[in-house]
Amino acid sequence: MMDGRCRAGAAQHPFKPALPASRQALTETNRLSIVALGSSSTAGTGASDVDRSYPAVLEAELRRRLPGREIKVLNLGVGGQSAYEMYLRLEGEVIPEKPSLVIWQTAVNDAIRDIGEEKLAKILRKGIHKLQEAHIDLVLVDLPWLPREGRYPKYDDYRAVLAKTAGENGVPVFPRYGMMKSWSGSRQFSEEEIVGMDGLHVVEAGYRCLGIRLADGILAGLGEGREPGKPTN
């Protein structure tokens, strides 16, 4: 079963975010509303259908594993967007949805364009503070592992900026880079199952695994987690 392959290297890349607003919403209203904000790997570029994007997989997993709860994952991914363009959408598109949790996948386009590390840090800080002021849980998503990331000489520097800014502001980071690298090294996936032929965009197996691993971590953070791979009924 492919879903088992998704958990290759899980112990090396733990993800159990503190989600106080989401816990409270689930307890008090039986509802969990999530906004997925990001660029092409949130929008689902490379998947055959939007239902195979990671937010769609995440929603299906959470509904399956939280029966009787009202679960909504809104996909606000727009291919090619920068961190600043996403920041500008927080006020008008994200916060009005009143989500308990925002999953913010960003910085890959900023790294590729080399916009400046301090500029990225400043944008991320402003976005983090805006969501924290609205009492919305936030998870930042690490940049993806790319087979040929050497094309972008400062790629690791931008990853470090995201990690450092998140850490300084108490924001958990979903360890996408390490997970994808583990999948590639596990020999349970071909490289093309994780990143497409263009060497840049995630494809369906990768999206499915990202959705499953996000669900694992969110459920653990909510105190609703079961051991991965165990039956749910």
One-letter amino acid identity for 126? K
In SS3 terms, 163-205 reads as HHHHHHCCCCEECHHHHHHHHHHCCCCCHHHHECCCCCCECHH
Least confident among 2-6, 97-101, 102-106, 110-114: 2-6
Least confident among 2-6, 85-89, 171-175, 184-188: 184-188
- H helical segments located in 44-82: 54-65
* pLDDT grade for 232, boundaries at 50, 70 and 90: very low
Q: Check pLDDT > 50 for residue 141.
A: yes
Q: Check pLDDT > 90 for residue 148.
A: no
Q: Check pLDDT > 90 for residue 143.
A: yes
pLDDT at 70: 97
pLDDT at 60: 96
Query: Which domains does the chain possess?
Result: 2-221 (3.40.50.1110)
pLDDT tens for 25-60 read 999 999 999 999 999 889 988 677 778 899 999 999
Q: Check pLDDT > 60 for residue 169.
A: yes
pTM for this structure? 0.89
* pLDDT grade for 196, boundaries at 50, 70 and 90: very low
Average pLDDT across the chain, whole number:
87
